[in-house]
Amino acid sequence: MAGLSLQHPWAFAFGLLGNFISFLTFLAPIPTFYRIFKSKSTHGFQSVPYVVALFSSMLWIYYALIKTNETLLITINAAGCVIETIYIVMYLVYAPKKAKMFTVKIMLLLNVGVFGLIVLITLLLFAGERRVVMLGWVCVGFAVGVFVAPLSIMRRVIQTRSVEYMPFSLSLSLTLSAIVWFLYGLFIKDKYVALPNILGFTFGVVQMGLYVFYMNKTPVKAEGKEASKMAAAEEEHITVNIANLIPAVPANSPQVHQSTEMAASADPRTCAAEAAAVTAENGDAINAVVNHGAVGVV
């Protein structure tokens, strides 16, 4: 067994280390879902990263089973399937109806439709080593696609000169995980595990470089259409949170008049700053999931 054999001690060591790092990364969104559980609301979070992470784990488990003797790939991805399923179930419990329907549709399309199609094609049209090769390149293609996802965050960092949407700890986790899984793939001579992590390591280093370069820079405020979009998003987020936190009161209640006066006198810039802070936290959680959707499974 290549994954556990003592004839490959370095592969075994890096596989165990990769399991440990990836498992911690899978647990990164726990504070986010604790807030969701406490408030009984998803607060505008998106379910797509968790659905993608689940699909990624399913895909790598299937690859490991087809190739055989890849126990360490199976263990971490089985844990990932369980953890991501728990996240998705919690999301479905507390999400609004529209978000629930969207999540169900995405899961049926990706985790049932696309995954089922991959299984059928590889089982019916390929056999033996050709099946492993075909499935391996499918895994590489998907992993590369997930690794490219943080490009939008890097673009935002450059535009705003602010690193609030790209925590250093997540970038470091991405880099370390990519290094470990690359070495694991190298020692077991599996190019499909090693190749995508070269890209993961590259993006991780670039993210850390951007963080170091911009961490002491003065943020640049967005202008034009971008500013309008951000303002609208912040205003919507504030509205959602207030609606969830303030109990209903009669229209003629003195509390209504008091709240109205306070709202009229509130500084819009302060509200926007508070909303941006909350949005940054959301971005961090999503970034964690998107990153480990590729890194944690290979």
pLDDT of 241 > 80? The answer is no
pLDDT at residue 243 greater than cutoff 70: no
Higher pLDDT, 245 or 88: 88
Least confident of 27-31, 195-199, 245-249: 245-249
Among candidate residues 202, 196, 168, 180, the one with its CA nearest the CA of residue 288 = 168
Which of the four pLDDT bands, split at 50, 70 and 90, describes residue 7? low
Tell me, rounded to whole angstroms, the distance of Cα 225 from its chain centroid: 27
Q: Which of 18, 145, 24 is nearest to 70 (CA)?
A: 18
Residues of the chain above pLDDT 70, percent: 70
Residue closest to 111 by CA, chosen among 47, 45, 49, 59? 59
| Cβ atoms of residues 146 and 288 within 8 Å | no
Q: How confident is the model at residue 223 (pLDDT cuts 50, 70, 90)?
A: low
Write out the DSSP string of 184-211: HHHHTT-HHHHHHHHHHHHHHHHHHHHH
Confidence of residue 193 (pLDDT cuts 50, 70, 90): very high
Give the predicted TM-score (pTM) of the model: 0.71
Residue 84 near residue 53 (C-beta atoms within 8 A):
yes
Specify the 3-state DSSP secondary structure of 165: coil
The pLDDT tens digits of the residues spanning 134-188 come to 999 999 988 887 777 667 778 888 888 888 767 787 788 888 999 999 999 999 9
Whether the per-residue pLDDT at 1 is higher than 60: the answer is no
Mapped onto helix, strand or coil, the DSSP state of residue 28 is coil
Q: Which pLDDT does position 112 carry in this prediction?
A: 96
For residue 221, name the pLDDT band (cuts at 50, 70, 90). low
Over the chain, what is the mean pLDDT? 77
Which tokens belong to 93? 């419990």
Q: What is the pLDDT of residues 11-58, one digit of tens each?
A: 999 999 999 999 998 888 888 899 899 999 988 788 888 999 999 999
Q: Are 42 and 96 in contact (CB under 8 A)?
A: yes
**Confidence class for position 289, pLDDT limits 50, 70, 90:** very low
**Residue 209 reports pLDDT greater than 70:** yes
Q: What's the DSSP call for residue 114?
A: I
